[in-house]
Amino acid sequence: MTAATRAPSAQAWADAFAEASNTDPEIQAHGKYFTCSYLLDATERRYVVEVQSGRVVNVAVDPGPLDVAYDFAIRASAETWRGFGEPVPAPMYHGIWAATFQRDMRLEGKVLVLMQNLRCITRQIELLRVVGAPV
Amino acid sequence: MSRISPVTGHYVTLEVDGLEYKVFYLENGTGQPLVCQHTAGCHNHQWRGLLEDDEITADYRVIAYDLPRHGKSDPPENAEWWKDEYKLTADHYVNFIVALCDALELEDPIFMGSSFGGNVALQLALRHPDRFAGVLSVEGADYSPGFYLDWWQHPHANAAQVCASGVWDLMAPQSPEADRWKTWFYYSQGSEAFKGDLHFYSVDHDLRGRLGEIDGDRCPVVMLTGEYDYLTTPEDSARTAGEIRNGAFIAMPEIGHFPMSENHATFRRYLLQGLEALQDVKAAKSG
């Protein structure tokens, strides 16, 4: 099964991602202070994920340039994000540090906010292995 | 029925560059000493699988120490270390390992280290080829820039979680989840030392252009690197080994930057190959 068939549309992907995060035991156990918003930029698709106290309260799909504010951005090509959506990602598609050091991923904006929430963000991004790629 | 492990722990006091250290080490097994260095910001529990590996401890005396400022090895006993910023240098690191081997009166030890331990393995082969029977450089390279970051100690973030989750991606998705989480847990304990260790790893260690000076006849070098390592990739280690006389490289699929800690069952297969390669060089020399 390909990532594309696991996430048939951008809105369906956004809903599945929010559901996976909000029912994840690790984020539930450790997300009490997990509050931030970030742009997941997959080039062909963009999402702004808004989290409050460990709960995804909104995922904006392809927002306009000034529609939704966010703290930081995780940007990469669609091809890189598709690698993240594999159940067992190939090397360098297996995390935001790996893809930033060795592929085309970029971490931009308030990186301090990313670092403050690194544990739960890391877990959220790993959920792509279950939910599928965002693009 | 008792479930007491055969692994024992000891302290040994030694002096290096005027600093006195009380060093904690775990050991098990008999035979040629196999001295094991943990990765930066971590401690000797990374070698827990190897320390209880019946096959390897039947032939080797496995010694896994905590570098000073890590685990149960305190910072120097005779210095006001809290008044200085900790920045590990190649000189001090090398001198420490030799002093430890001397203090334990080890004959013909094999040194094995991972990550910043893999890098210092190359430094040992370069500087002390007659003190070691050989070195196993795990996840090592001639140069490994990019990880001497302020984030490891940034006061506005949770340093324990930044260090632990910052190295999470260095592990392979195939490695058992419980072992990856143990490694994460170790990394949540070492943030104060982590950055200072990385001063050696990413700044002071630079053997570019000097690998040809390593005498691989006197001190054979075997390098092993996991394919999920985003810091020192298999290509980096293969290139490094290729520039060392008699240097050997073993690629390790489906494992990452902490092979002994994230997946000993997979790592041991490559380790046995590495030990065999060192013994082959020794046999060729004596033959």
ipTM (interface predicted TM): 0.94
- Both tokens of B26, joined, read 């775990």
When CB atoms are compared, the residue of B162, B230, B233 closest to A118 is B162
| Distances from the Cα of A66 to the Cα of A111, B39, B206, B227, angstroms | 20, 45, 46, 41
Burial grade of B130 (CB within 10 A; 0-12, 13-18, 19 or more): exposed
Do residues B147 and B201 make contact, with C-beta atoms less than 8 angstroms apart? Answer: yes
What total number of domains does chain A contain?
1
- Helix or strand run (H / E) with residue B15: strand B8-16
Structure tokens at B89: 């240098």
d(CA B181, CA A17): 23
Q: Where are the domains of chain B?
A: 8-286
d(CA B121, CA B189): 24
**Contact assignment for A101 to B231 by CB distance below 8 Å:** yes
Q: Is A3 a residue whose pLDDT tops 90?
A: no
Please name the residue of chain A whose CA is at the shortest distance from the CA of residue B158.
Answer: A116
Tell me which residue range forms the domain holding A113: 3-130
Q: Give per-residue pLDDT as tens, B156-188.
A: 999 999 999 999 999 999 999 999 999 999 999
Question: CA of A96 to nearest chain B CA: how many angstroms apart?
Answer: 7
Considering only CB atoms, which chain A residues are within 8 Å of B164?
119
Closest CA in chain B for residue A100: B230
Which segments of B7-113 does DSSP mark as H helices, in order? 48-51, 54-59, 90-103
The pLDDT of B45-64, averaged and rounded, is: 98
Q: Tell me: pLDDT of B44 over 50.
A: yes
- Number of helical (H) and strand (E) elements in chain B, helices listed first: 10, 8
B96-114 residue pLDDT tens: 999 999 999 999 999 999 9
More confident residue, B2 or B258: B258
Nearest CA in chain B to A99: B230
Chain A: give the shortest CA distance to residue B23, in Å: 32
* Chain A environment of B174 (Cβ under 8 Å): 88
Assigned domain for A135 exists: no
Q: Which of B168, B173, B230 sits opposite A102 (nearest CB)?
A: B230
Nearest Cα residue in chain B from A91: B228
Q: What is the CATH number of domain B8-286?
A: 3.40.50.1820
pLDDT tens, residue by residue, A82-133: 999 999 999 999 999 999 999 999 999 999 999 999 999 999 999 999 999 9
Q: A116 vs B158: CB contact, 8 Å cut-off?
A: yes
What are the tens digits of pLDDT across the range B208-230? 999 999 999 999 999 999 999 99
Q: What percentage of chain A carries pLDDT values higher than 70?
A: 94
Over residues B194-202, the mean pLDDT reads 98
Chain A residues whose C-beta sits inside 8 Å of any chain B C-beta = 88-89, 91-92, 94-98, 101-102, 111-112, 115-116, 118-119, 122, 129
Distance from CA of A64 to the nearest CA of B (A): 31
Would you call A91 and B228 a contact, using CB atoms and an 8 Å cutoff?
yes
CB atoms within 10 A of CB A109: 15
A58 in any annotated domain: yes
Span B69-79, average pLDDT: 98
Containing B9, the helix (H) or strand (E) segment is strand B8-16
- Give tens-digit pLDDT for A19-75: 999 999 999 999 999 999 999 999 999 999 999 999 999 999 999 989 999 999 999
Residue from B172, B158, B150, B152 nearest B230 by CA? B172
Q: Are B19 and B96 in contact (CB under 8 A)?
A: no
Q: Express each pLDDT in A74-87 by its tens digit.
A: 999 999 999 999 99
Is residue A82 helix, strand or coil? helix
Largest CA distance in chain B: 60
A127: closest CA of chain B, how far (Å): 12
pLDDT of residue A1: 43
- Residue A8: band (very low, low, confident or very high) from pLDDT cuts 50, 70, 90: low
Beta strand extents in B171-264 (DSSP E only): 221-226, 248-252
Q: Is residue B154 scored above 90 in pLDDT? A: yes
Q: How far apart (Å, rounded) are the C-alpha atoms in residues B88 and B199?
A: 6
Which residues of A are less than 8 Å from B157 in CB distance?
A: 112, 115-116, 118
3-state helix, strand, coil in chain A (%, to 5): 40, 20, 40
Residue of B nearest to A94 (CA): B169
Domain CATH number, residue A37: 3.30.1050.10
Structure tokens at B198: 């990385």
Nearest to A13 by CA among A47, A39, A36, A44: A47
Residue A7 has pLDDT above 50, yes or no: no
Write the CA distances from A35 to A19, A31, A38, B47, integer angstroms. 17, 8, 10, 37
Residue carrying structure tokens 């492990």: B5
Read off the pLDDT of residues B108-148 as tens digits, 9 standing for 90 and up. 999 999 999 999 999 999 999 999 999 999 999 999 999 99
Subunit contact A118:B170, Cβ cutoff 8 A: no
3-state secondary structure of B264: helix
Chain B residues lying within 8 Å of A94, measured CB to CB: 169, 172-173, 228
Q: How close, in Å, is residue B166 to chain A by CA atoms? A: 7
Q: What mean pLDDT do residues B179-205 have?
A: 97
Return the residue of B nearest to A112 by Cα. Answer: B157
Instruction: Give B287's pLDDT tier (boundaries 50, 70, 90).
Output: low
